[in-house]
C-alpha cells in the first residue's frame, strides 16, 4: 500500500516535469494564470478572515475546556487552510476546465509518443467548453454529497478534533478525481466509471490527490498545482487507469 501511495505522489512530480516540455507549455499558460489569480484571492480571504473565524470557533468551547485551546488551535489552522484552499481549487478548476481538458489531451499524446500538432490558438480551445463544464458540475454534485458530513463534524465540539484529518482524506480523494477526470473525460468516461477505476488504485489515488492538496498549501508552488495535477493525472491515466477497461 505504501509503495502504491508513493507511486501516486510520483505522478505529481512527473506532472511538474511534463508542463515544462516545449510542446506542452502553450497549453499551460491559461490554467496557470487562472490558478495564480484565484489562489492569490484565496490567500487574501484566508488572511483577512482567519482571526475572526478562530475566535468564533474557540468561543464555542465551554469554560471548563479552555485548557485544550493550545491543542485545538493548530488543528483549526490546518482545517481552515484545507477548507479555504480546497474550495478555491474547485472554483479555479471550474473556470479552467476547458483548457485543462485540452492540456490533458496534449500530455497524453506526448506520453504515447504521438506527434504534437501545431498550436492552433486559444480560440480553438473554446470548442470543448460545453463538454468539460458538464463534467465539472457532475463532479461538484458528487463532492457536495460528502461535504455536508464534514461540515457537521467540523462544528461539533470535541468531535471536530478529527475534522482536519477527515478534510485531508476528503480533499485528497476529490482532487484525485478532479485531475484524472480530464484525461478520462477525453475518452468519454463518466463519473461512475471514473470512480471505479480510482477505487481499484485507491492508495495511488490518495497519494496523488494528497500530494496535490499539499501543493495547494505551499506559497508559490500552489500556483502550479493545477497544471501539474492535470499533467500528473494524465500520466496516472496512461500508466494505470486506462489499463482497467476489460476488468470494468
In this predicted model, what pLDDT tens digit does every residue of 105-132 receive, in sequence order? 999 999 988 765 555 555 555 555 566 6
Q: Is the pLDDT of residue 170 over 70?
A: yes
Q: Which of 135, 152, 112 is nearest to 190 (CA)?
A: 135
Half-sphere exposure of 169 (CA within 13 A, CB side): 10
Cell numbers 505529481 label which residue? 12
| Number of compact structural domains in the chain | 1
Q: What's the confidence (pLDDT) of residue 213?
A: 86
What pLDDT is recorded for position 107? 94
Q: Is residue 97 part of a domain?
A: yes
- Looking up cell 497519494 gives 207
pLDDT greater than 50 at residue 247: no
The mean predicted confidence, pLDDT, of the chain is 79
Cell of 38: 484565484
Winning range, highest mean pLDDT, from 18-27, 78-87, 89-98: 18-27
The percent of residues above 90 in pLDDT, for the chain, comes to 26
List the domain range (segments joined by +) for residue 167. 2-58+67-243
As a whole number of angstroms, the distance between CA 197 and CA 202 comes to: 9
Q: Is residue 248 part of a domain?
A: no
Q: Is the distance from CB of 35 to CB of 227 less than 8 angstroms?
A: yes
Mean pLDDT confidence for 178-202: 89
pTM passes above 0.75: no
Amino acid at each position: 500500500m505504501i509503495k502504491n501511495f508513493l507511486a501516486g505522489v510520483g505522478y505529481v512530480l512527473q506532472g511538474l516535469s511534463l508542463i515544462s516540455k516545449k510542446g506542452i507549455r502553450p497549453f499551460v499558460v491559461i490554467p496557470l494564470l487562472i490558478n495564480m489569480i484565484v489562489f492569490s484571492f484565496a490567500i487574501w480571504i484566508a488572511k483577512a478572515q482567519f482571526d475572526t473565524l478562530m475566535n468564533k470557533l474557540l468561543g464555542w468551547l465551554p469554560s471548563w475546556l479552555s485548557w485544550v485551546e493550545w491543542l485545538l488551535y493548530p488543528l483549526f489552522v490546518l482545517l481552515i487552510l484545507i477548507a479555504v484552499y480546497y474550495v478555491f481549487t474547485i472554483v479555479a478548476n471550474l473556470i479552467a476546465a476547458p483548457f485543462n481538458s485540452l492540456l490533458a489531451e496534449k500530455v497524453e499524446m506526448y506520453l504515447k509518443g504521438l506527434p504534437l500538432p501545431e498550436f492552433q490558438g486559444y480560440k480553438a480551445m473554446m470548442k470543448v467548453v460545453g463538454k468539460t463544464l458538464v463534467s465539472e458540475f457532475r463532479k461538484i454534485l458528487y463532492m457536495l454529497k460528502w461535504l455536508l458530513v464534514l461540515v457537521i463534524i467540523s462544528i461539533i465540539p470535541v468531535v471536530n478534533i478529527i475534522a482536519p484529518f477527515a478534510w485531508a482524506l476528503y480533499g485528497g480523494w476529490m482532487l484525485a478525481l478532479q485531475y484524472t477526470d480530464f484525461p478520462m473525460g477525453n475518452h468519454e468516461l463518466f463519473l461512475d466509471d471514473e470512480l471505479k477505476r480510482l477505487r481499484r488504485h485507491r492508495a495511488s489515488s490518495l497519494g496523488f490527490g494528497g500530494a496535490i492538496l499539499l501543493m495547494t498549501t505551499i506559497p508559490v508552488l500552489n500556483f502550479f498545482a493545477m497544471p501539474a495535477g492535470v499533467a500528473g493525472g494524465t500520466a496516472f491515466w496512461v500508466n494505470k487507469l486506462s489499463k482497467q477497461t476489460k476488468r470494468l
